[in-house]
């Protein structure tokens, strides 16, 4: 199984790196994990809605170029549908039963995702009603993917 995480911008918070590396190591038992960073755009000081849409469009082009063919695409969005950890695990399992072996998760940058990227996604997914930095979401998402594999394999999970 392939898990792709496309994220806008590079990881700048060094304190998150050890956690990300730990979950990459843990996930290596279950899947081939690819984290793809696409360039983020600088947000001007006095920006308009039109400026944000233009930035999102540029980032969106970079994102969509990196989505593998025949991959089921989850766009992470605060307005997306929330799931429990068990529900997320069941969803991944059900998608595998339906023949999907590649999953792509898209994490937007500071300005969010363009409508085009959101409409490209198969599912708009919210990890929380809270707002997190896109860098923190990377770690949280990896932990939830790992938890889903543990649930689907009926394995205990203790940190």
Which domains, and CATH codes, for the chain?
A: 2-152 (3.40.1280.10)
- How many residues would you count in the chain? 159
Confidence of residue 159 (pLDDT cuts 50, 70, 90): very low
Mention every residue, 6+ apart, whose C-beta is less than 8 A from residue 137: 76, 107, 127
Segment 108-156, tens digit of pLDDT = 998 899 999 999 999 999 999 888 888 899 999 999 999 999 999 999 9
The C-alpha atoms of residue 78 and residue 66 are separated, in whole angstroms, by 22
Does 74 appear as a known binding residue?
Answer: no
The C-alpha atoms of residue 139 and residue 118 are separated, in whole angstroms, by 21
Model confidence, pTM: 0.94
Q: What is the Cα 20 distance to its own chain's centre?
A: 13
Mention every residue, 6+ apart, whose C-beta is less than 8 A from residue 139: 16, 19, 20, 23
Residue that has been written with the tokens 């063919």 in this structure: 69
DSSP conformation class of 39: P
Does 132 appear as a known binding residue?
Answer: yes
Does 16 appear as a known binding residue?
Answer: no
Does 128 appear as a known binding residue?
Answer: yes
Segment 7-57, tens digit of pLDDT = 999 988 899 999 999 999 999 999 999 999 999 988 888 888 888 999 999
User: Hey, what are 63's tokens?
Assistant: 């994102």
The C-alpha atoms of residue 134 and residue 151 are separated, in whole angstroms, by 25
Segment 47-65, tens digit of pLDDT = 888 889 999 999 999 999 9
Does 28 appear as a known binding residue?
Answer: no
User: Hey, what are 154's tokens?
Assistant: 């009926």
Does 55 appear as a known binding residue?
Answer: no
Check if the beta carbon of residue 68 is closer than 8 Å to that of residue 102.
Answer: yes
Does 129 appear as a known binding residue?
Answer: yes
Does 15 appear as a known binding residue?
Answer: no
């Amino acid at each position: 199984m392939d898990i792709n995480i496309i994220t806008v911008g590079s990881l700048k918070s060094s304190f998150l790196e050890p956690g990300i590396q730990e979950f990459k190591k843990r996930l290596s038992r279950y899947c081939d994990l690819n984290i793809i960073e696409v360039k983020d755009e600088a947000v001007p000081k006095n920006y308009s809605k039109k400026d944000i849409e233009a930035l999102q469009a540029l980032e969106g082009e970079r994102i969509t170029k990196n989505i593998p063919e025949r991959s089921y695409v989850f766009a992470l969005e605060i307005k997306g549908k929330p799931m429990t950890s068990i529900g997320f695990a069941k969803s991944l399992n059900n998608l595998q039963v339906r023949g999907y072996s590649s999953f792509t998760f898209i994490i937007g940058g500071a300005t969010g995702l363009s409508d085009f990227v959101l409409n490209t996604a198969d599912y708009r997914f919210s990890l929380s009603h809270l707002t997190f930095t896109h860098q923190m979401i990377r770690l949280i998402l990896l932990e939830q993917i790992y938890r889903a594999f543990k649930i689907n394999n009926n394995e205990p999970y203790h940190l």
